Structure 1
Amino acid sequence: MELILWRHAEAEDGAPDSERKLTEKGQKQAKTMAEWLKPRLPKNTLILVSPTRRTQQTAAALADDFEIVEEIGPGVSAKAILVAADWPDGKGTVVVVGHQPTLGETAALIMSNKISGWDIRKGAAWWFTHKTKNGVEEIFLHAAISPDMA
């Protein structure tokens, strides 16, 4: 299984939080990351998106076909993200477009088996791979890239 944690791009300040939209810089960040991701993702990639406007705008740079999932909205737990994505037992590739601090906590949980305050930059994507080889589970960080590096 492949799991990509993609933090929403830069958004405007304001309220209500759920309606904050991407800034011009955020739109560029989303487009840049989407251009990096598109040629690397299989056609049947599942894209799960938080119900906030900024995450939906970020995901829309990648594809029109994404699923809005309440369970990955702001303030959820890292474990909720993993359950929604069916990590590590799912098949194929899943992109989760979400928020800090939860995405950083999810990355820490995947890599260290404990929740820590890791930071994923705005617009950045962390790509994890899970495989079973000769009966042994392997988890590795395939890529960690921010828009300014793509």
Structure 2
Amino acid sequence: MAVNLTKVAKKARDYEYILLMMRHAKTEKVSHDGDDAARELTDKGRKQAKHVAKALDGLGLVPDVMAVSGAKRTRQTAERMLKVFGDKPEVTYHKKLYTDGLSEVSSILSAQKKKKKILMIIGHEPTMSEGSLWWSEGSSHALEALEIGLSPASVAVLGAHKPFEQWDIHEADVLAVITAKDCD
């Protein structure tokens, strides 16, 4: 079921803080040297990252901060997105997003300043969908999609009224899960 991006933008305006949890774009199956962290984006993955960035920009959801895993595929995803976003996002790289999962996501949230309203985390599965489920409450079709897991270049959009540093379990509402296909 396709997501109505106009409705997502309208819902997002009702929240003071927006968290975008994104799985990196499509990658090669195996890296050339066998190192999983060195896997690169495919041509399709590069296009996905650009299309998702354009969609988020069109929704008014350009992040203030991008926290990116240290793996090559997540850095490449961020680089493609920054070509659309420009210099606005403050970008930080977190090797522990690849190794420590939800623990590192919690650390990133708690380190955010109140003036930063839109935070994007680009990481891996299952951490991105599990984190989205962890911080979300209620029930919706979006939650059902998160239980299955995020496909490459998908973004869970969560909203809350409290600053990120105050988020606890079930603090946010899941506004949507946007897939790469929704952005074509």
Q: How many residues align?
A: 142
Q: 1:110 to 1:138 in 2, by over 3 A?
A: closer
Equivalent residues of 2:48, 2:180 under 8 A apart: yes
Instruction: Determine the C-alpha separation between the residues in 2 that align with 1:110 and 1:88.
Output: 16
| AA matched with 1:34 | A
Contact 2:153 / 2:180 at 8 angstroms: preserved in 1? yes
Q: CA deviation at 1:37?
A: 1.3
Match of 2:125 in 1: 100
Answering whether residue 60 of structure 2 is matched by residue 27 of structure 1, we say no
SS at match of 2:82: coil
1:22-64 CA deviation, whole Å, 9 max, x = no partner?
A: 011111111110111123235x610010001100111112216
- Report if aligned partners of 1:88, 1:130 keep a CA contact under 8 Å in 2: no
Structure 1 distance, partners of 2:149, 2:111, is: 20
Change (3 A) 1:108 1:118: farther
Percent of aligned pairs with the same residue?
A: 24
Show CA shifts across 1:81-133 (max 9, x none). Answer: 132133898541110000001111101111259xx95401110011111115x
Q: Which secondary structure state, in structure 1, belongs to the residue aligned with residue 175 of structure 2?
A: strand
Aligned: 1:53 with 2:68: no
Report the equivalent of 2:180. 147
* Rounded Cα–Cα distance in structure 2 between residues aligned with 1:146 and 1:119: 11
User: Is the 8 Å Cα contact of residues 105 and 118 (structure 1) preserved in structure 2?
Assistant: no
Q: Which residue of 2 aligns with 1:83?
A: 107
Letter in 2 for 1:106: G
Say which SS state the counterpart of residue 35 (structure 1) adopts.
Answer: helix
RMSD of aligned residue pairs (Cα, Å): 2.6
- Specify which of 159, 164, 176 is matched with residue 129 of structure 1: 159
Which TM-score applies when normalising by structure 2?
Answer: 0.68
Change (3 A) 1:38 1:127: same
Where 2:21 maps in the other structure, the secondary structure is strand
Amino acid at match of 1:80: E
Do the aligned residues in 2 keep the contact of 1:2 with 1:129 (CA within 8 Å)? Answer: yes
SS state of the match for residue 153, structure 2? coil
User: Once superposed, which parts of structure 1, at least 4 consecutive aligned residues long, lie more than 6 Å away?
Assistant: none
Q: Which residue in 2 is equivalent to 1:8?
A: 24
Opposite residue 92 of structure 1, the aligned amino acid is: K
Secondary structure of 2:19's aligned partner: strand
